[in-house]
Amino acid sequence: MKRLSFAMLVAVSACASAPKPQTPAEMLLGQWSCEVTNGDLTTKGDVTYLPDGKATLKATVALAVAGQAAVIEGAGESRWAFQADGRLQETLTSLTVGSGTLGGKPVPTAMIQPMINNNLLNKATTSTADITPRKMVLDAGDGAPKTCTR
């Protein structure tokens, strides 16, 4: 009887101490290096997801403008939340352009910033999120999933 009780105690305490699986929101937290290519537009950057539903980011965007290579670098913030259906919604709330080039020549940030503000800010993107501890794939259904790694 003592052996059976001891065995049951060990089994119960093993179950009680087993780590609880992380939720998608818990797995999302922390820094990710992300990349997405959509046609001739490639965005690479680091995103740090914070527990309060905000994120910070640094990104480099490469694209073609009038047949010339353009590169824009900047830093900003976004909001994130998982929706009831399990999809991740992200909204870019700020992006400050640090530099820009067109055809290898500098472009004044004052020319780029209004385009960023008008075209990218405060527009929500909702994606399916496949998250593991080391890799995340966000698919907004546009044929260009964003892949992130730690």
Output the CATH code of domain 22-149.
2.40.128
pLDDT tens readout for residues 53-111: 999 999 999 999 889 999 999 999 999 999 999 999 999 999 999 999 999 999 999 99
**pLDDT band for position 10 (50/70/90)?**
low
Q: What backbone torsions phi and psi does residue 142 show, to the nearest 5 degrees?
A: -100, 10
Q: Which tokens sit at 118?
A: 């008008």
DSSP state for residue 87 in the 8-state scheme: -
At residue 44, the pLDDT reads 97
Average pLDDT score over the chain: 91
Least confident of 19-23, 56-60, 125-129: 19-23
What distance in Å separates the CA atoms of residue 149 and residue 129, rounded to the nearest whole number? 13
Whether pLDDT at 14 is above 70: no
Residue with tokens 């909001």: 79
Please give the average per-residue pLDDT across 38-60, as a whole number: 96
Contact 147, 135 (CB under 8 A): yes
Q: What is 43-78 written as a DSSP string? A: EEEEEEE-TTSEEEEEEEEEEEETTEEEEEEEEEEE
- Non-local (6+) Cβ contacts of 111 within 8 A are 100
**pLDDT band for position 46 (50/70/90)?**
very high
What are the distances in angstroms from CA 35 to CA 10, 13, 91, 140? 46, 43, 17, 14
